[in-house]
Structure 1
C-alpha cells in the first residue's frame, strides 16, 4: 500500500487550472461590472436603502463576476479534461470547451428568462 494513490483518477493540475480560470473570471467580471455600473444611471433615491448606489454597484459586480467565473471554470475544466482523456493538445479541445462554455451561458440565460424564480 506504500506506493498507491488513494485519490483516484482526478489530476491536481486539472483542479488547480480550473480554479485559476474561475478566479481570473471572477476578478475580470468584478472589474467589468464596476465599469458597467459607473456608466449607467443610478437608481432613484426614494427607497429606504442606505447607499443605494453602492448596493446596485455590488449587485452588478456580483452578476458579472459570477458569470465570467462560470465561463472561465467551464472552459478551462472541459479543455483540460479533454486534453487528459484524449492525450492530445489540439484545436478540437478548445472548440469543444468553447461549445460547453457557450451552452452553459445559454442555459443560464434560458433559466433566467423563462424561470425567473429558480435560483
Structure 2
C-alpha cells in the first residue's frame, strides 16, 4: 500500500534536524513542508514546496476521517486569524494510531507527535493526495 511506503520513507527521516526554509534539494535538514515534499517525491508524488501550496491540492478530509498518509494542516499563532491557505503554518503526515510524523521548531528534528489537544486545537484540515 502506498501510504505504508510513504510512512516507511518518513520514518527513515526521524532525527534529521529542523531548519526553517530548508532547501528542497537537501536531505540533511528539513522544514515541515520540505520534509513532506521529499517523502512524497521519493514515492512518485510531486507536491509543491510550501505548506500553503500543499494545502491547495488534494481531497479535503475531516479530522474524524483521516487515514494513514493523509496530510494534516495546522495554523499558528501568527496565522490563526487569516483565511484560506494563508492560515496554514504547519504540515505533517498522519501515520496512524493518533500520531503524525513532522518536524517543527520546538523539537528541532523530524519526530512523531501524538495528535493531542494542542494539535487538535490548531488543526485546520487534512488532505488526501494518494
The TM-score normalised by the length of structure 1 is 0.24
Greater percentage in strand: 2
Give 1 or 2 for the bigger CA radius of gyration.
Answer: 1
The TM-score normalised by the length of structure 2 is 0.23
